[in-house]
Amino acid sequence: MGRLSGKKAFITGGAGGIGLGIALAMAREGAKVAIADINEPLLAEAMLVAKGLDITSVHCDVSDRADVFAKIDKFVSDAGGLDILVNNAVMFHYALMTDFEPEIVDRMLNVGLKGTYWCLQAATPHLKANGGGAIINLSSIAVSSAIPNASIYTSIKGAIDALTRQQSAELGAYGIRVNAVAPGAIPTPGANSVIDAAGWQAREQKTLLKRLPTADDIGHAAVFLGSDEASTITGVTLKIDSGMTLT
Ligand SMILES: NC(=O)c1ccc[n+]([C@@H]2O[C@H](COP(=O)([O-])OP(=O)(O)OC[C@H]3O[C@@H](n4cnc5c(N)ncnc54)[C@H](O)[C@@H]3O)[C@@H](O)[C@H]2O)c1
């Protein structure tokens, strides 16, 4: 028996990076998992990695509210319920605030913030019907740091922190816990598009543990927050950064 046996989890942006780390960790603990993503080739690769685990791939664009409702409803109907929602999908882009193209600002907000909101709206009735559940949002340590060129990304993540607290208040009475994890810097396809080798080295040196966390590390934390072991934890943002923000 795994720590998530019998639980059903819907993970956005689950085809790669941290989302896939969370999906694999949850499935290894017995959860039935859907990885929802727009990147078809990455979804296909992820399904190879997930061989032998109870993971299905779902093409879902979180910025499209109708698509989100359709895909979450279908997963719930196929799986027989919903226990865990992980809001992980994001679009990375760094630029000087004065140079940010309006179209990119819109896309980032549509994926990272509004996409999270649509997923919360679509999943909540199912979690209520389930008698409770766990929502895990992806925040970032970037929220409390000052990072040049990251004005939109950090604004989105700050909003995710606020949303986590607000939704924990609205949903607590239904037994729905809402928490966030705030990873430190982790080399993923998305993060590699905005951080170079020297940047990774500098970040690693800044950690107290002298190693960056991995997607697996975030997966382990998400398993805990999604499990009944965390049944009295809500409204919390858990930093997983090898102590980087303490230095
Ligand atoms: N990597 C880091 O250093 C780091 C640090 C702190 C927080 N985070 C957070 O962790 C989460 C995952 O980050 P990552 O580094 O794995 O990013 P990533 O870019 O590597 O992965 C994001 C995934 O989201 C998917 N996606 C993009 N747009 C989508 C859409 N419209 N609908 C559905 N899926 C979509 C992508 O295809 C991709 O598979 C993000 O919320 C990010 O803010 C990452």
Q: What is the CATH number of the domain that holds 138?
A: 3.40.50.720
Q: Are 227 and 26 in contact (CB under 8 A)?
A: no
The pick from 18, 43, 154 for probing ligand 1's pocket by mutation, whose C-beta has the most ligand atoms within 8 angstroms, reads 18
The response to whether residue 219 sits with its C-beta less than 6 Å from ligand 1 reads: no
229 domain-assigned: yes
237 pocket-lining for ligand 1 (C-beta < 6 Å): no
- Determine, yes or no, domain membership for 83: yes
Nearest CA to ligand 1 atom 30: 61
Q: Band the pLDDT of 1: cuts 50, 70, 90.
A: confident
- Measured in Å, residue 247 CA sits from the centre of ligand 1 at 25
**Domain assignment present for 28:** yes
Within a domain: 2: no
d(CA 12, CA 138): 10
For residue 41, the tally of other CB atoms under 10 A from its CB is 9
Q: Report pLDDT for 158.
A: 98
Does 217 have pLDDT greater than 90?
Answer: yes
Q: Determine the atom of ligand 1 nearest the C-alpha atom of 13.
A: 24
Per-residue pLDDT band for 30 (boundaries 50, 70, 90) equals: very high
Write out pLDDT tens, residues 134-191. Answer: 999 999 999 999 999 999 999 999 999 999 999 999 999 999 999 999 999 999 999 9
CB of 34 closer than 6 A to ligand 1? no
Distance 71 CA to ligand 1 centre (A): 19
Q: How far is the CA of 143 from the centre of ligand 1 (A)?
A: 16
Query: Which two three-digit tokens encode residue 121?
Result: 């709206």
Overall number of domains in the chain: 1
Residues 68-93 have pLDDT tens digits of 999 999 999 999 999 999 999 999 99
Write out pLDDT tens, residues 36-49. 999 999 999 999 99
- Asked whether residue 151 is domain-assigned, the answer is yes
Check if 35 has its Cβ closer than 6 Å to any atom of ligand 1.
no
Please give the number of the atom of ligand 1 that sits closest to the Cα of 89: 24
Active site residue 117: no
**3 domain residue, yes or no:** no
- Using most ligand atoms within 8 A of CB, pick from 90, 94, 164, 218 the residue to mutate for ligand 1: 90
Residue 158 DSSP SS3: helix
Which residue's CA is the closest to the ligand 1 atom numbered 13? 18
3-class secondary structure per residue, 6-22: CCEEEEECCCCHHHHHH
Instruction: State the CB neighbour count (10 A cutoff) for residue 94.
Output: 15
- Cβ 91 under 6 angstroms from ligand 1: yes
Q: What percent of the chain has pLDDT over 90?
A: 99
- The whole-number average pLDDT for the span 54-64 is 98
Average pLDDT, the chain: 98
Give the global pTM: 0.99
Average pLDDT over residues 186-210: 97
Q: Measured from the CB, is residue 217 less than 6 Å from ligand 1? A: no
Answer yes or no: is 246 within a domain.
Answer: no
Q: What span, in angstroms and rounded, lies between the C-alpha atoms of 5 and 27?
A: 9
pLDDT score recorded for residue 102: 98
Q: Is 90's C-beta closer than 6 angstroms to any atom of ligand 1?
A: yes
Q: Is residue 152 part of a domain?
A: yes
If 0-12 CB within 10 Å is exposed, 13-18 middle and 19+ buried, where does residue 55 land? buried
CA-based nearest residue to 62, from 83, 88, 40? 88
pLDDT (0 to 100) of residue 209: 98
Residue 153: give the domain boundaries.
8-241
